[in-house]
């Protein structure tokens, strides 16, 4: 029997026991203890309505944490506010307090709450309704989303004091029908935007435009609402809030909430093959740590980076603890599960029936699952901000909590685990949005024109509005008469525009094992590599094989199978540069930023055995090519540099270098690694030279590669130091890639290439 499983009396003792185990401690690269934090409070403000004060007192709130008091005062002063505090710091009171107070003072006022997901909206409504009940006042709070029954909708439109919705609903249902919401828009005092950090990238850029439209409609009805935003820790909360809402904001980040002691343990799986630089699988190590915690009775959340990993870990963990806990106490959680199932899991976590959950970053957001005691991350979540968010899922106001970060062998993970200072001492990433992405902007100009004609002199975004209006008039979408531009088309523009992803429609997955039922969905970009025919799709730990992919109808039909492998697909990519916007030449390097088109096609898939991860077969994928028009950044080496290496060597050097770059690029971008792509070419069509391309995986680009163009020098020097510092002999998955991929000399070739280019520069 494993010594680990001997029960300890609590988490503290378990951690002590852990320290006495050399075979574990040898892999712990860093043990960071965050001391408990005492609460800092302020008196309840004088002007708080007695009913509200009484209701709060009834819940044990006699005094406010300092950040709550500061937020209240700033809002009362009339400022737009963004609060930035960690999980479980009582941030909802930062906005609920001034909103409810204002509604108690004036019952005709209105507030609009925006949450990125329906689940968060429902949590919030429940909380506000409890508060209203405790105060015994008629404060109508309702969610307004796709699930709201038509009969209730009209009542909410006219009488709801607080309407809780999501940006998608605002975009496609509320704003285009604003005349039905006269009461709301005439009287709106506050707009609450929670989970501000989640509005980044494409989604954030869309949402910024939806907010432009919202403000425009408010102006039409003569209201000028105040924004109260709340965000998880990011590097640029104020800047991000200001870009998103287009107003100056006050930043409140003086967190006064208490926190129990917190252990943050970095764990690097041991090297099992020094020559190849192969470490033991992070999935297996995660399983070991999580199983030990679960057996100990510690409620634990496990985060994994991909859906496939979630399902793998879920299967493993359910298997390990089924005799002690039963499989139903360990659940999976990810996008693609249907809402009803998710609600059930959230409830189970709150009431403690579910002891463990394996999740993608879907649970990173503030969905109420209570506070757990332990968190195990399988792989670095990609950003510092996400890491803190995920880690924040474990940790209570009192008592100890622990977070394990189990590194995978990818270069970014290895970099982080070997340089913990980078993580603990560096501010988290910046949230980037690009609301003036032309394609996104023009979509919202259309929606805005549908809602209200544009007048000469109006502003909408930073691109010249009149040019866009003229363009749309030429396209016969708008009609220009006098000083105004009117929507003049039969369609309803918001229906064709999805805020969430370039994939405007999802593929649904239908299980035909018995009858047919909808299992889940995947976005269009992922479909060719995840649910091509013969792919193994894993859902709730069960394997399904895709029998038929109906591409035009966007449906995949699957059947349950029991096989010992999973599948992994290859994507072939072709690039064409359309236009160069920026250019800089340093030494042997020419770097450019501009527009390009990308043609991507899934070609083959591999079957990989579970456990050993060996390749046991492959097959072709027959799917149409996807075309993407986006912005990109690329750098090419001079002909001299090219001449110094054979084509083959150059190929491997470029490949090695791009493997490193693709992993460290997210250090500078708050984006999912999937949002940016890297492609090396020995002789690029555009430059005729060896070139490495980066591009934004969204039509029109969202500013990611532009930012990379700017940090190019830092990017390369970081890549260089990472390759140099790697302990492997000649390339490993943690730096340039395994030697099977980049060859025996891959590491030195890549280093060579980068050093020569730099020396000359």
- Return residues touching another protein (CB under 8 A): 176-179, 182, 438-439, 442, 449-453, 463-464, 467-468, 470-471, 473-477, 479-482, 484, 486-493, 496, 578-579, 595, 597, 627-629, 699-700
Q: Output 49 or 554, the one with its CB closest to another protein.
A: 554
Do residues 214 and 191 make contact, with C-beta atoms less than 8 angstroms apart?
A: yes
Do residues 334 and 359 make contact, with C-beta atoms less than 8 angstroms apart?
A: yes
Parallel, antiparallel, or unpaired: how do β-strands 626-637 and 589-609 relate?
A: antiparallel
Do residues 320 and 312 make contact, with C-beta atoms less than 8 angstroms apart?
A: no
Q: Output 253 or 463, the one with its CB closest to another protein.
A: 463
Does residue 706 sit in helix, strand or coil?
helix
Q: Shortest distance, CB of residue 476 to another protein, whole angstroms? A: 6
CA nearest 29: which of 410, 392, 403, 405?
405
Alpha helix stretches (DSSP H) within 494-537: 527-530
Q: Output 295 or 434, the one with its CB closest to another protein.
A: 434
Token match 């033991």: residue?
280
Parallel, antiparallel, or unpaired: how do β-strands 517-523 and 536-539 relate?
A: unpaired
Do residues 89 and 253 make contact, with C-beta atoms less than 8 angstroms apart?
A: no
Backbone dihedral region for residue 246 (phi beyond 0: left; psi -120 to 50: alpha; all else: beta): left
The 3-class secondary structure across 97-133, one letter per residue, is: HHHHHHHHHCCCCEEEEECCCHHHHHHHHHHHHHHHH
Between CA 380 and CA 363 the distance in angstroms is 16
Q: Output 599 or 647, the one with its CB closest to another protein.
A: 599
Q: Output 265 or 440, the one with its CB closest to another protein.
A: 440
CA nearest 218: which of 194, 184, 243?
184
Q: Shortest distance, CB of residue 375 to another protein, whole angstroms? A: 40
Q: Output 230 or 577, the one with its CB closest to another protein.
A: 577
Q: Output 176 or 411, the one with its CB closest to another protein.
A: 176
Token match 């990017």: residue?
715
Instruction: Enter the tokens of residue 178.
Output: 């604003």
Instruction: Give the largest CA-CA distance in the chain.
Output: 84
CA nearest 590: which of 641, 537, 541?
641
Token match 């506050």: residue?
190
Q: Output 461 or 743, the one with its CB closest to another protein.
A: 461
Instruction: Enter the tokens of residue 594.
Output: 């501009």
Between CA 582 and CA 595 the distance in angstroms is 10
Instruction: Enter the tokens of residue 363.
Output: 């649970």
Q: Output 36 or 699, the one with its CB closest to another protein.
A: 699
Q: Output 182 or 563, the one with its CB closest to another protein.
A: 182
Give the DSSP per-residue string, 251-301.
EE------B--EEEEEE-PPEEETTTTEEPPHHHHHHHHHHHHHHTT--EE
Q: Output 138 or 475, the one with its CB closest to another protein.
A: 475
Tell me which long-range contacts 743-746 makes (C-beta under 8 A, separation of at least 24): 743/652, 745/649, 745/652, 746/652, 746/653, 746/655, 746/656
Q: Shortest distance, CB of residue 221 to another protein, whole angstroms? A: 9
Helices and strands (H, E) in the chain, number of each type? 26, 32
Q: Output 3 or 579, the one with its CB closest to another protein.
A: 579
Query: How many other C-beta atoms can be found within 10 angstroms of the C-beta atom of residue 13?
Result: 12
Q: Output 340 or 476, the one with its CB closest to another protein.
A: 476
Between CA 343 and CA 331 the distance in angstroms is 12
Q: Shortest distance, CB of residue 550 to another protein, whole angstroms? A: 19
Q: Output 39 or 146, the one with its CB closest to another protein.
A: 146
């Amino acid at each position: 029997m494993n010594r680990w499983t001997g029960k300890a009396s609590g988490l503290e003792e378990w951690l002590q026991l852990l320290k006495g185990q050399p075979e574990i401690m040898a892999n712990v690269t860093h043990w960071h203890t965050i001391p408990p934090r005492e609460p800092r409070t302020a008196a309840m403000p004088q002007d708080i309505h007695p009913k509200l004060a009484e209701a709060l007192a009834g819940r044990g709130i006699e005094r406010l944490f300092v950040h709550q008091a500061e937020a209240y005062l700033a809002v009362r002063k009339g400022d737009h506010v963004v609060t930035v505090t960690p999980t479980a710091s009582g941030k909802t009171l930062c906005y609920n307090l001034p909103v409810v107070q204002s509604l108690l003072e004036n019952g005709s006022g209105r507030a609009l709450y925006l949450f990125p997901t329906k689940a968060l909206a429902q949590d919030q409504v429940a909380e506000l309704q409890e508060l209203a009940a405790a105060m015994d006042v008629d404060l109508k709070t309702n969610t307004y989303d796709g699930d709201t029954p038509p009969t209730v909708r009209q009542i909410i439109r006219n009488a709801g004091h607080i309407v809780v919705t999501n940006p998608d609903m605002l975009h496609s249902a509320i704003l285009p029908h604003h005349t039905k919401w006269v009461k709301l828009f005439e009287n709106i005092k506050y707009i609450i935007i929670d989970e501000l950090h989640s509005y980044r990238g494409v989604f954030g850029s869309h949402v910024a435009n939806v907010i432009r439209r919202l403000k425009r409609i408010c102006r039409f009805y003569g209201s000028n609402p105040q924004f109260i935003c709340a965000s998880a820790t990011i590097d640029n909360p104020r800047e991000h809030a200001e870009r998103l809402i287009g107003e100056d904001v006050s930043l409140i980040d003086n967190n006064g909430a208490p926190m129990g002691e917190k252990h943050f343990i970095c764990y690097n799986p041991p090297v099992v093959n020094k020559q190849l630089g192969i470490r033991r699988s992070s999935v297996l190590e995660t399983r070991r740590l999580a199983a030990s915690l679960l057996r100990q009775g510690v409620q634990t959340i496990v985060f994994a980076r991909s859906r496939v990993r979630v399902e793998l870990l879920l299967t493993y963990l359910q298997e390990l603890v089924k005799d002690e806990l039963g499989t139903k106490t360990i659940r999976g959680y990810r996008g693609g599960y249907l809402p009803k199932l998710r609600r059930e899991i959230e409830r189970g976590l709150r009431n403690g029936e579910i002891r463990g959950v394996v999740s993608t970053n879907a649970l990173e957001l503030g969905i109420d699952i209570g506070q757990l005691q332990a968190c195990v991350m399988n792989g670095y979540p990609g950003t510092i901000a996400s890491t803190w968010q995920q880690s924040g899922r474990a940790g209570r106001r009192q008592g100890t909590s622990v977070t394990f970060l189990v590194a995978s062998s990818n270069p970014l993970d290895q970099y982080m685990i070997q340089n913990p200072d980078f993580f603990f001492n560096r501010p988290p990433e910046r949230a980037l949005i690009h609301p003036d992405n032309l394609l996104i902007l023009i979509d919202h100009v259309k929606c805005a024109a549908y809602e209200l004609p544009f007048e000469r002199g109006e502003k909408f975004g930073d691109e010249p509005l009149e040019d866009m209006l003229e363009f749309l008039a030429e396209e016969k979408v708008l009609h220009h008469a006098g000083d105004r531009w009117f929507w003049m088309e039969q369609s309803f523009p918001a229906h064709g525009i999805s805020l969430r992803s370039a994939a405007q429609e999802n593929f649904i997955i239908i299980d035909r094992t018995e009858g047919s039922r909808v299992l889940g969905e995947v976005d269009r970009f992922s479909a060719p590599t995840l649910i091509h025919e013969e792919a193994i799709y894993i859902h709730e730990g069960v394997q399904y094989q895709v029998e038929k992919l109906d591409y035009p109808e966007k449906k995949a039909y699957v059947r349950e199978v029991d096989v010992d492998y999973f599948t992994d697909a290859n994507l072939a990519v072709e690039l064409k540069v359309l236009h160069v916007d920026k250019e800089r030449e340093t030494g042997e390097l020419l770097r450019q930023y501009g527009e390009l088109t990308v043609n991507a096609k899934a070609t083959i898939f591999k079957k990989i055995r579970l456990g050993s991860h060996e390749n046991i077969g492959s097959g072709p994928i027959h799917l149409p090519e996807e075309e993407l028009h986006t912005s990109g950044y690329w750098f090419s080496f001079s002909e001299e540099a090219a001449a110094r290496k054979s084509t083959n060597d150059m190929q491997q050097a470029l490949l090695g270098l791009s493997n490193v770059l693709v992993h460290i690029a997210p250090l500078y971008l708050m984006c999912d690694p999937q949002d940016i792509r890297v492609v090396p070419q020995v002789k690029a069509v555009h430059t005729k030279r060896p070139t490495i391309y980066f591009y934004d995986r969204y039509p029109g680009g969202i500013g990611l590669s532009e930012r990379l163009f700017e940090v190019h020098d830092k990017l390369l020097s970081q890549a260089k130091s990472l390759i140099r510092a790697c302990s492997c002999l000649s390339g490993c998955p943690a730096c340039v890639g395994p030697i099977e991929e980049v060859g025996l000399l891959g590491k030195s070739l890549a280093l060579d290439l980068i050093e020569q280019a730099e020396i000359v520069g």
